[in-house]
Amino acid sequence: MTSKKPYILAIESSCDDTSAAVLCGEKVLSNIIASQKIHQEYGGVVPELASRAHQQNIIPVVHQALARAHVAKEQLSAIGFTRGPGLQGSLLVGVSFAKSLALSLDIPLVEVNHLQGHILSHFIDKEGNKKPSFPFLAMTISGGHTQILKVNDYFSMEILGETQDDATGEAFDKTAKILGLPYPGGPLIDKYAKEGNPHAFSFPFPKVEGLNFSFSGLKTSVLYFIQKNVKENPNFIQENLSDICASVQYTIIEILMRKLKKAVSQTGIQQIAIGGGVSANSALRATLQHYAKKDLWEVFIPEFQYCTDNAAMIGIAAYYKYLRKDFADMHVTAQARYNF
């Protein structure tokens, strides 16, 4: 396989997914994700176990990504990797691997900010896929982050608002934990909520200035609500699981949508792209589509495989940096807290 466009191998290891992807320009040839099941037993990601699992997974995952893309490592033009933000021990595995491979192949190394990767995943080529044009609004909602940004260019992004405590994904995961559901709870709440009434129970909305968010109050009110009701009826959770999930999910989505509407009215920008694990949520996707029809917003929702952590999004960001010859030097290290 030959092409004038560069072949880029990208590595993502910021949290609990080990992923490798091969891209040819903006086209994804392979995107392999090894999710770590071990954390389910602990109700959350255990950093020590995550880095160990990345060590075990990284070589097979990279081999599989190259094999599925039908690309030999000698054909690669650059190696992209997630520098941060994320868990330091997890990031180090990806950074070290990327550096060693780039050094041995004598090709450039490209560092990527994980959150910019989530946003730039909208530029991956797909048939019939319209890409956002600059400037647009992005909302990144994951297990570690919740932000609304104005995206002026590929690497020029302004944070307009962000969470002051828990991330949106944590609101899902912590609710799930209170309900006795395994980690990660977001997909399960999504599933049970489909059968439930979103207005069965009501939870208070946080009062937060501007475009910032807060989710820790919601977690506490869900905890007190469950404790009180279980005291009166020990089977309360089992008997009302779908309604509880639907009501909490409705509150989370409403919190997000109120801020998004505010961001649209403040900036006058009506193109909205979402990213991060929570953008896989089916009710949020439907709500956004509804607003798109009603308010003439242009909404960009990633394919499921590019919602949660994946290396393809790191690859597309690396491609745009490669075009600018924005390469990392060999002294680069992982950065757990990494602002852009």
Minimum CB distance to ligand KG4, residue 250 (Å): 13
What would the DSSP string read from start to end of 2-45?
--SSPEEEEEE-SSSEEEEEEEETTEEEEEEEEE-GGGGGGTS-
Verify binding: residue 172, ligand KG4, rule CB under 6 A.
Answer: yes
Verify binding: residue 16, Zn ion, rule CB under 5 A.
Answer: no
Angle of the 186-193 helix axis to the 168-178 helix axis, nearest 10:
70
Cα angle 225, 250, 36 (rounded to 5 degrees) comes to 85
In this structure, how many other beta carbons lie within 10 angstroms of the beta carbon of residue 135?
Answer: 17
Verify binding: residue 187, ligand KG4, rule CB under 6 A.
Answer: yes
Verify binding: residue 253, ligand KG4, rule CB under 6 A.
Answer: no
Verify binding: residue 85, ligand KG4, rule CB under 6 A.
Answer: no
Euclidean distance between the first and the last CA atom of the chain, given in angstroms as a whole number:
36
Verify binding: residue 173, Zn ion, rule CB under 5 A.
Answer: no
Verify binding: residue 173, ligand KG4, rule CB under 6 A.
Answer: yes
Residue 21 contacts residue 79 (beta carbons within 8 Å) = no
CB closer to ligand KG4 out of 137 and 193: 193
Type of residue at 89: G
In this structure, how many other beta carbons lie within 10 angstroms of the beta carbon of residue 260?
Answer: 22
Residue 299 CA, distance from chain mean position: 17
Verify binding: residue 309, Zn ion, rule CB under 5 A.
Answer: yes
Task: State the binding partner of 243 from ligand KG4, Zn ion, none, CB within 5 to 8 A by kind.
Answer: none
Verify binding: residue 184, ligand KG4, rule CB under 6 A.
Answer: yes
CB closer to ligand KG4 out of 6 and 302: 302
By CB under 6 A, the residues from 4 to 63 that bind ligand KG4 are 15
Task: State the binding partner of 173 from ligand KG4, Zn ion, none, CB within 5 to 8 A by kind.
Answer: ligand KG4
Verify binding: residue 144, ligand KG4, rule CB under 6 A.
Answer: yes
Residues near ligand KG4 (CB under 6 A): 15, 142-144, 169, 172-173, 184-187, 190, 276-278, 280-281, 308-309
